[in-house]
Structure 1
Amino acid sequence: MTRRTTWLGLRALVGLALLAAPAWVLATAGGAVPHQHWTLGALLAVSALAGVALLVATALAWRRDRRRATAPPATPSTSTSSADTPRSGVTGASAPSPDAEPAARPEPARPRGRRVLRATGAGVGLALLAVLAAATAWLRPFPATDAALDALRGDDAVEVRESAGWYAFVPRDAEPTTGLVYSPGARVDVRATAAVLRPLAEAGYLVVALKEPLGIALTSPGQSASAMAAFDGVERWAVGGHSLGGVAASSFAAAHDDEVDGLLLHASYPLGDMVDADLVVASVSGSEDGLTTPADVDASRADLPAATTFTQVDGAVHAFFADYGPQPGDGTPTVPREEARAEIVAASLALLDEVAAG
């Protein structure tokens, strides 16, 4: 097998991976994709188009190589005797045939440095495309379960609004004056938060669950501001989130403590020191969480205001803070999900009650 054949084989494999990644995401979480931030759908399209383009280019290159390999070798032109050829004006010279093709000139060899540079660039480009395929597969959202989807249905108590940037749970009985902007955990279907957040709206609070770019809250740490601006009737705001979403929310709250009154951390912790932040803070965690462990939460105490309320839900795991099924690396729950959810909701309501009270 030649180097050229190996190279074309690698290109074909990467092209197939670029097509397979979005196909797998759509096959296993396709119902979630239209309800996430538009960047996820764009990533799937870019991966698929890149795969098609790479496979077509590879097929054309392979076809050219096959033609060159099977082409007959060029035959040198034979000279005819002077007796059979009309004389030209020059003695001993035969007149060229009018149909004769000019002899092919050999292509000049490229300088070695240029060849090495071109090969290096092609290798780096193929590696980047392989990373694109891997990232596309990795960013597959954990899709919401039926319990979460049921909580997305509006009724006489709560109106559920979906927009390009978020889901909003709006109380119908009165105009809410206190609200929560919530960031889901990394790669978690935004709809999976519904069963935890809807009870907060039933208690009279506006709740906005963000659709994060590519499902990663830290890709747009200022996103909460746009949601707050869209509901100008709300006078007091808390921000919060689950896991990495809580990390992003804590950074936003620390940078905007003149606009934000509270911070709600679900199985999460801040990125840095927030001890002096003028905020009402609640940290709610699970005793069996394998991702944001009890040790992680204990370590965060040094970075949060002294008055922070810490609630540990006995038997709860990381995936109990939203409804998206089990998560790799998580612990084993020792309590029913519904029982843990009730404690999570109660601790979250206590935070919003304190924010509303000023």
Structure 2
Amino acid sequence: MYLLNPIQKILLLLLLSGIFSCSYLPEEKVGAGDLILEETADYILLKSAFVDVSKAGIVFYPGGLVDPHAYITSFKDLVLEDNRVVVILKVSANLAILNSKKASSVISEVTYINQWIVGGHSLGGSTACIDVFNHPDNFKGLFLLAAYSVNDLAAYNLPCVSITASHDEVLELASFNENKVNLPEEINISSPAELPIGSTVGKTIYYEIEGGTHAQFGNYGSQEGDGMAIISPDAQQLLVIKMLQKFLLINQL
């Protein structure tokens, strides 16, 4: 008999609830400014006019039922400050779990970038872990925003970073903590400044943003069941970017 894993159970519940037609949309249109956007049916590619091809690209799975455009502003500073390519995936019904191979597929199309980091928000983060589990040679690192892995990646020789928010009431903390065993060895820090010096390959950095919420990892407004933030979306996303910048720097990515 075929047994559903936890992610598939979530998907089945969504199907039964009939909520495919209800997605979280961006709060407002993003002014591109110096940001260059290349959009296809499968992804939104963000880059600056001075792409540094020596740096790893970032490919990102959106959160469940969140329009991918809601993350453009979230990554804008990372693109423009680091001259790094970011690819935000478009997924069927805005549910990343339906396209768990998409990051591996799309990065092959961006031929001028030679190494990639994969990440995701919420259900998108769990989907990123599935992609890593099935295609470990495709990625040099993993980052999770309010997410956890149900696949066993503990022995995978990757640097990982897991970022959460203290006022997030959507993420199930019990499941989050139970599934820490599926990621490499745990290191807890309270700010980007506390990141270890040197490579964190084979380690998972855990960082909680004080005052942040689940929805503020993107720009799609409030989310049902979420907590009340005491910092702004811009402030929360800036802390995410600062953490990712330092994480990538120390791991020479």
Q: TM-score range by the shorter chain?
A: 0.7 to 0.9
> Structure 1 segments of 4 or more deviating over 6 A?
131-134
User: What is the CA–CA distance in structure 2 between the aligned matches of 1:301 and 1:233, rounded to whole Å?
Assistant: 34
Q: Kindly report which structure 2 residues correspond to 1:38-187, keeping only aligned pairs within 5 A, or say none.
A: 135=18, 137-146=19-28, 149-151=29-31, 153-155=32-34, 158-177=35-54, 178-187=56-65
Q: Taking CA–CA contacts closer than 8 Å with sequence separation of 6 or more, which of the two structures ends up with the larger relative contact order? A: 2
Secondary structure at the residue paired with 1:258?
A: helix
1:206 aligns with 2:85: yes
Query: Where does residue 152 of structure 2 map in the other structure?
Result: 273
Matched residue count: 221
User: What is the CA–CA distance in structure 1 between the aligned matches of 2:250 and 2:128, rounded to whole Å?
Assistant: 18
Contact persistence 1:313–1:340 (CA under 8 A): yes
Deviations 1:203-253 (Å, cap 9, x if unpaired)?
221100000011111101100122201111112111000000000001111
Q: TM-score, normalization: structure 1?
A: 0.58
Say which of 226, 233, 241 aligns to 1:330.
226
Residue identity (%): 25
Bigger radius of gyration among the two? 1
- Name the amino acid aligned to 1:143: L
1:325 offset after TM fit, Å? 0.6
Change (3 A) 1:134 1:248: closer
1:270 offset after TM fit, Å? 0.6
Change (3 A) 1:314 1:172: same
Query: Where does residue 249 of structure 2 map in the other structure?
Result: 353
Contact persistence 2:70–2:219 (CA under 8 A): yes
Secondary structure at the residue paired with 1:150?
A: coil
Say what the alpha-carbon RMSD is for the aligned residues. 2.0
Q: Kindly report which structure 2 residues correspond to 1:255-294, keeping only aligned pairs within 5 A, or say none.
A: 255-294=134-173
Change (3 A) 1:138 1:258: closer
Contact persistence 1:290–1:318 (CA under 8 A): yes
- Name the amino acid aligned to 1:322: G
Contact persistence 1:280–1:354 (CA under 8 A): no
1:174 offset after TM fit, Å? 3.1
Between structures 1 and 2, the one with greater strand share: 2
User: What is the CA–CA distance in structure 2 between the aligned matches of 1:325 and 1:238, rounded to whole Å?
Assistant: 27
Q: Kindly report which structure 2 residues correspond to 1:239-250, keeping only aligned pairs within 5 A, or say none.
A: 239-250=118-129
Say which of 92, 106, 111 aligns to 1:232.
111
Structure 2, unpaired ranges of 5+: 1-13, 186-202
Say which of 299, 312, 326 aligns to 2:208.
312
- Name the amino acid aligned to 1:328: E
Structure 1, unpaired ranges of 5+: 1-130
1:342 offset after TM fit, Å? 1.2
- Name the amino acid aligned to 1:341: Q
- Name the amino acid aligned to 1:303: N
Secondary structure at the residue paired with 1:230?
A: coil
- Name the amino acid aligned to 2:46: F
